[in-house]
Structure 1
Amino acid sequence: MNTLLPIFSELRLRQILLICIALISTHVTADSASDQRLSNLHTRSASFPAINSHSEPALQGDGYGFVNDADSLLDNLKNIYDEGVALDGRSRGILVIPGDETELVEQLENADNDITSFAAGGHFALLTQDKNWVVVGGSEFNGSGRFIYDEGDANRLRFATILGLFSLGDLQSSVNVSALWKNYLGLNYRFSLESMPNTRIGITAKLQNISVIERKISIEDYDEDKLFDRGRDVENSIQANADLGIEHQIDNWLFGLELNDIYQQEIEGPEGTRYQQRTHISGNINYSANWASLRLDADLSPQKGFGELSSRRAYALSGLLPVSDKLQLLLGYTWLHSGNDSNLPTVGLHYRLGELLRIEAQFSYAGPREFGGGASLQLPL
């Protein structure tokens, strides 16, 4: 079920973030933020200090995964396949009779338009000895599959049982799969202007490969490993691109704006569906105090979908509560405006030792078949 942000309307969020952007030009005397987490650079190009005070390099790596099978499509497909194989076997032994197809027809009809989706990936960031340059890279995969029921399958099954001959390959119902897979390697640089000492600008120049995956899987060929197999039915596009971020500090408040993938391109999938890559614009507001740190993130433009992979827009509110000098508790909630995703509560832990060592883990759960999590490690070299 899709629900919109209950406290802030989309229009109100836009108004708040536009005000924040306008405040960037305001001259204040507060110190700039000094967040030492390299993991933020994967979504916010200006999030690391512009002048690095560390004499030693550091490496950060993370991984995440999320599955949404709230429609139980994976189980339904397995049941359909098993029932079809059993019916096929009885037919070969001339043991099938009219009426044996009823259960399979019901399973096909009930699975119509069921959806499953999967996302996974990982990133790394290397703080070099050149201090102000950070090497970044990552791999991100997002895929979705939808079951399309062919109404003619009911008559095909009934006719086959009358004749006493049935083959699993006669069924025309199928699973349509669409996915986007991005791999990139880039270099991040942050700087501040003398006229705006509390404003930080970050640029990430990157070389990336975008793979557009599109396939149709019949019931006869069904295998869970084939749904999101990245090695077939793929069109690749290699491109140079860049992300641009800007952050401005006012006392305990930090306002940010991010433009991801400034260069835009249209890519055609293996089945002819066109993916329109667009610049993704997002904004964030951070408030830091001794008792907690609060953050609001919002998509100002939707994250573009492709085929069965629907576009989405997210609004997230999170807080870091100190448990001790080294340990923080993460509590968050994400409101999703998307085709099939539920809103997500999140819980996690952040551990800090020294200036550069960071260990982070979090888990999101919307139901027994809709959940995910991730972990990040940052350490000095």
Structure 2
Amino acid sequence: MTESTVDRRTVFEQVQLGPVTLRNRTIKAATSEGRSPEGRVTDELIAFHEAFARGGVGMTTLAYCATTRAGFSAPGQILMTRDAVPGLREFTDAMHAADAKASAQLGHAGPVGSKKITGQRPMAPSRFLSPTSFQLSRGISVEEIREATRQFADAAELAVEAGFDAVELHFGHLYLPSAFLSPWINKRTDGYGGSIENRTRFVREIAEAVKQRIGDSAAILAKLSMTDGIKGSIRLEESLQSARMLDADGHLDALELTQGSSVFHQMYLFRGDVPIEGFAGAMSEPFKTGVKLLGKPILGEYEYHDLYMLGDARQFVRSMKNTKLILLGGINSLDHMQTGLDEGFDFVAMGRALLREPDLVGRMRVEPGITGRCDHNNGCMFTVYGKTHCVYEPDFAQNR
């Protein structure tokens, strides 16, 4: 999809996202930070995101904000309770002072979670044994589905109270909402299982509940997996149907299109080098030895190339009537960004590139020809068990 020269979208222009105006079309993608050991905002967390805000992004995404203690996916994440609001307000004030908008990623880990972190047995649409963690998730009841929906709405309301400009509903990577979309995990025989219409019901209800609760007080985004690289799981044909349903409902302002899962074949999301030694170093026995022996078959190996999600993501452009689209994956230059905008996307999101160079967007504005220095070694993947950072920039992990 291309537009005339007069109407051509450009990266560094003001743009509307629902009720919010962003200074440009760039978004710092959610990358779980691990800087909230007590489930609350810390000065270190604020400084971490200030680097992206002062570095030029239109909006930065605070990740990961669990809607309930059972929803944690890794250590050091935010827990969305009223006690967290004062710190969250300090966070949004700091981002606004840097002329950037702030989004809160809201999620429930479901089968991605672990009892070691949450203190509870993980939940999934049906009983499910994770091929990575070997944890058995229990199937949840309809009443628990309704409770989880309310928790998303409660968390969104708290985010608005704390001054966030947007909330991002995590419907990707086989977290709890995404797990309902996957026939590999979802074996239910009630109204939440079986057909793609039934499997999409939970995410539609979450989006509706959030919209009813916060209205136009903030933009509402959702992160949706297009495919996850797992046989019998999320396929492009079905994710297109889910996206069309969400679009027709009209509760979302934008969809960030993603790939992969945090349950199995995790490298399908990241592509590039498989950091086996790093993962093993972050594990205790017997998982350390297991990762060394079976890490590549479990994580998968997928070659990296620039704009690697564009091929699937462009299938969604003509399907959306009400919902803007955010392109993610392998964006490392201004040319990459403009390619996405010329294809019909409204925003571009960057993760690893900004972990290495938080000021990359601002420098691109001054030097349009530069390319980010991220080499996709993926050492940042295993830092999620501590403080997420680029392994080439250890000072950023400690001092920001």
Higher Cα radius of gyration: 1
TM-score, normalised on structure 1?
0.30
Q: When you count strand as a share of all residues, which structure comes out higher?
A: 1
Greater percentage in helix:
2
TM-score normalised per structure 2: 0.29
